[in-house]
Amino acid sequence: MAGKIMKGGEFLIAESDCQDIFTPEDFTDEQRAIAETTEQFVENEILPHLEEIEEQNFEHVVEGMRKCGELGLLMMDAPEEEGGLELDKATSMLVGEKISTSGSFSVAFAAHTGIGTLPLIYYGTPEQKEKYLEKIITGEWCSAYCLTEPGSGSDALGAQASAILSEDGQYYILNGTKQYITNGGFAELFTIFAKIDKQHFTAFLVEKSFEGLIVGNEEKKMGIKGSSTTQIILDNCKVPVENVLGEIGKGHKIAFNSLNIGRFKLGAGVTGAAKMALAEGIQYANERKQFNRPIASFGAIQEKIADLTASIYASESLVYRLAGLLDDKLATIDKGIDDYYVQYQKGIEEYAPECGISKVFCSEVLAKTVDEVVQIFGGYGYCSEYPAERYYRDERINRIFEGTNEINRLLITGMILRRSMKGELPLQAEAMKAFEALMTPSFDEVDESIPFIAEKTTLQNLKTLFLILAGSGVQKYMDKLADEQEILMASSDIVIQIFAIESAVLRAEKIIDKLSEAKQEQLKAAVKVFTFNATEAAASAARKGAYFVEEGDTLTMILSGVRRFTKYDATGLLQAKRTLAAAASEAEKYIF
């Protein structure tokens, strides 16, 4: 366990020690064995049926889920006393990463093991768990989660589905329509949200066999075609009163806490998908010849491979750093206490900003990866006979799943600022120091002997820049800042890049001495390439944010700060990109 457990969002105002973070190099032999089991399952049981799954022959998905249950892959989060394995989040995320290579099957798996199972584990009564949990974690039944409606997506609490207690007091009668339900076509158990008496937002456990539950037609989707996505129609659906999940009127807690978990698990899944897509792109670039040379030998292609490798390294570093934060926090909770899962949920909620960062950053790394892989394939990338075309279509949903990236951007900075206003994070005091730094020219000498000092200096400057912009926004708008979405999103773009750079640097600092000389050079190259790209992205967001918030002399001053605090000495950048590209091209895969 780490020596110091940081609060959520605290990375913006405090330095982390590289020894306190979890990295992929810290996986145990047991974790690696589970990962290998998952990889073999995908290769042996799913990939041979991939085309049939894409044609919506869902019997292969259902059978695959049963085999996952036999292997224990569906019970990682379930308590041991209830038949589960109760493994840590790092293991759960590692399995999510490895299952991601299974195409549409991974969507069914993620929905089942995440939002389809966890509400029951965290909020179910002993009787509910006894009745349903074994079926779910063995794969006998598939599960689904029904929150979105035709008229309410991001505004989940605006749902119109209703529940009225029957005259005999034995049932709730549910009416309404749920939209975009993953696993809808073959799930046997649904977690459905509805408002009792059109007022009290509440969750219900609803079996497919219950009278009045109707499964709609399959949606005709752009991508993830092999996943089931339907409406669930509630036509006077009779749900026994004992199937209320959690407390009446407290459904929002179940909905939002389930989404936090979905966000960090999605971060791991899309990271695995990015690795797979990159490998396909590199292999094709090595085979495809133009002008009598493999296109992988051209600088234009090498730069793509280098940038993608560096971004995926950052994505992977960020995801497993978050896994470590969650596991360290959850390990401090006494399992013997009566309200264990209440405290457990609070432990996960502590890192809601980082969960949002993981979801946004990692999904956008995958988006960039599949886009460039199509480009590497050229015209063939646009043809369905080649894998690049499916990767491109399948990727798009990840920026909508688990709360859109726009909603997550609003939440990241919004949650951090709310914690500051409650006194949970001393951002205001740090913002004052940041404004002082803006007014004071800096002539600090850099100690070149410190590993990754250029990146660490840039990182500290970016934190200062965020505090200046956030402080300006709060000063100008006060509690109305929540309505200034453009400012919040620009601020979050800076926060996202800060957490990503820091995760990449801390991991590199922790592992570099254990690597060969050649691997050290590749690692340094990845850090340099990513830090340069991320700093450029943060600088663009900061300039935009400055124009959004200020004008006149104050704007001029902040813009000068943007220039000053986004300087990064990326000397040797071209050679770093060539080093990365050469290593990745030789290995024909992601190299870290």
Among the listed residues 415, 569, 545, the one whose alpha carbon sits nearest the alpha carbon of residue 472:
545
CATH number of 251-402: 1.20.140.10
| Sheet strands (E) in 340-402 | none
Rounded distance between C-alpha atoms, residue 362 and residue 377, angstroms:
23
| Model confidence pLDDT, tens digit, residues 167-211 | 999 999 999 999 999 999 999 999 999 999 999 999 999 999 999
> Greater confidence, 411 or 260?
411
Region of 236 on the Ramachandran plot (φ > 0 left; ψ -120 to 50 alpha; else beta) = left
Among the listed residues 377, 193, 217, the one whose alpha carbon sits nearest the alpha carbon of residue 296:
377
Instruction: State the average pLDDT for the chain.
Output: 95
* CATH 1.20.140.10 domain extents, the chain: 251-402, 406-587
Q: Is the pLDDT of residue 149 over 70?
A: yes
- What is the pLDDT at residue 1? 45
Instruction: Choose the CATH number for 406-587 among 3.40.50.720, 1.10.240.10, 1.20.140.10, 3.40.190.10.
Output: 1.20.140.10
Query: What is the arithmetic mean of pLDDT over 549-569?
Result: 95
| Sheet strands (E) in 185-335 | 189-196, 200-207, 213-218, 229-240, 244-245, 289-290, 293-294
Q: Is the pLDDT of residue 565 over 50?
A: yes
Among the listed residues 468, 471, 529, 479, the one whose alpha carbon sits nearest the alpha carbon of residue 504:
529
Q: Both tokens of residue 558?
A: 């902040």
Catalytic residue among 402, 430, 502, 509: 402
- What is the pLDDT at residue 3? 62
| Model confidence pLDDT, tens digit, residues 520-547 | 999 999 999 999 999 999 999 999 999 9
Query: What is the arithmetic mean of pLDDT over 122-129?
Result: 96
Q: Which amino acid is at 546?
A: A
> Greater confidence, 155 or 287?
287
| Model confidence pLDDT, tens digit, residues 232-252 | 999 999 999 999 999 999 999
Give the count of alpha carbons within 13 A of 7, CB side only.
14
Among the listed residues 260, 248, 209, the one whose alpha carbon sits nearest the alpha carbon of residue 123:
248
Phi/psi at 441 (5° precision): -60, 140
Q: Is the pLDDT of residue 302 over 80?
A: yes
- What is the pLDDT at residue 257? 82
Cβ(117)–Cβ(145) below 8 Å: no
| Residue 444's pLDDT band (cuts 50, 70, 90) | low
Query: What is the arithmetic mean of pLDDT over 381-394?
Result: 97
Cβ(99)–Cβ(38) below 8 Å: yes
| Residue 217's pLDDT band (cuts 50, 70, 90) | very high
CATH class in words for 10-142: mainly alpha
Task: Name, in order, each residue with C-beta under 8 angstroms of 195's C-beta and a sequence gap of 6 or more.
Answer: 159, 160, 161, 162, 163, 201, 202
Which residue in the block uniquely carries the two structure tokens 């079926």?
Answer: 135
- What is the pLDDT at residue 443? 61
Q: What is the architecture of the domain spanning 145-245?
A: Beta Barrel (2.40)
Helix (H), strand (E) at residue 578 = helix 573-587
Query: What is the arithmetic mean of pLDDT over 476-484?
Result: 93
* CATH 2.40.110.10 domain extents, the chain: 145-245
Q: Which amino acid is at 319?
A: V
- What is the pLDDT at residue 243? 98
Q: Which amino acid is at 11?
A: F
Query: What is the arithmetic mean of pLDDT over 449-467?
Result: 95
Query: What is the arithmetic mean of pLDDT over 424-440?
Result: 91
Active site residue 486: no
Cβ(379)–Cβ(350) below 8 Å: no
Q: Is the pLDDT of residue 58 over 80?
A: yes
Q: Is the pLDDT of residue 40 over 80?
A: yes
Among the listed residues 287, 357, 218, 340, the one whose alpha carbon sits nearest the alpha carbon of residue 588:
287
Q: Is the pLDDT of residue 445 over 80?
A: no
Share of the chain above pLDDT 90, in %: 92
